[in-house]
Amino acid sequence: MEIETREEVEREHLPRAKYHYITTSQQNPIPPMRLTLRSLLDAGLHHPGTVGSIQLQGSRSSPDAFVQVEGLGYAVRLDGQIVAINSSPIAALRPPATWWRFACPHCGRSCTLLYRLDEHAQPWRCRVCAGLKRRRPPPSIAALMRAEKDLAASRAVPAERQRYERGRAWLKRLAERELAVKRLEREVARSLASRRR
């Protein structure tokens, strides 16, 4: 698959900038089921008065692989346990966007993944409270993640010259943006070539 344009690279690969590599804890050899914030927001179940169910990730299809969700506005009820959802505007992005995060019910830490530990009275925990450790991704994925992060950082400010910006600084920023796009194209091509082998 050839990479044709920068727009194709940005459209196809930038939304998948987050890769989660979680190892199991020593106490629990089977990784627990998890709920992603993205699946909750995509289903629209964070709005007040909405009720539904979401399939959990990291499990086989079974009755236990779903969670009942009730939207409460700035919180959700997950199988009876209330979990707060924090939101804050990202002013640097145009058009403005909102940064959404779960607040871990156990420690209050901001996270985008919650894990269900069935042996506890309050089963929903963040990665740290669940006792899971993060391991490093493979080098090819790490390079792709860095390239996507650099491109996202360069796109945080619009391409037009800002009022406060000097001419040379603006041209340098545009050149860095072009380099970030080329770096991402190169890493995507390298990743696709390694998959074909």
9-68 residue pLDDT tens: 444 443 343 444 444 444 545 668 888 888 888 888 888 999 998 888 875 556 667 888
Instruction: Give every CB contact of residue 83 below 8 A, 6+ residues apart in sequence.
Output: 75, 76, 77, 102, 103, 105, 114, 124
pLDDT at 4 over 60: no
- Interval 117-154: pLDDT, tens: 877 788 899 988 888 887 777 777 788 888 888 888 88
Per-residue confidence band for 103, with pLDDT thresholds at 50, 70 and 90 = very high
Is this prediction's pTM over 0.85? no
pLDDT class for 95, splitting at 50, 70, 90? low
Residue in 180, 177, 67 with CA at minimum distance from that of residue 123: 67
Instruction: Return the ∠ at Cα 32 (arms to 19 and 114), rounded to 5°.
Output: 60
- Is pLDDT of 7 > 50? no
pLDDT tens per residue across span 154-171: 877 788 888 888 889 899
Q: Please report, for the chain, the start and end positions of each structural domain, with discontinuous segments joined by +.
A: 21-134, 139-196
What is the model's pLDDT at position 19?
41
Token digits for 87? 């939101």
Query: Can you give the pLDDT at residue 84?
Result: 92
Determine the 3-state secondary structure of 162 from DSSP: coil
CA torsion sign for 107, 32, 100, 77 is negative
- The pair of structure tokens assigned to 155 is 């796109």
The model's pLDDT over 108-122, given as tens digits with 9 standing for 90+, comes to 899 988 998 877 788
d(CA 163, CA 111): 35
Q: How far, in Å, CA of 142 to CA of 61, rounded?
A: 30
The Cα–Cα gap between 81 and 76 comes to 8
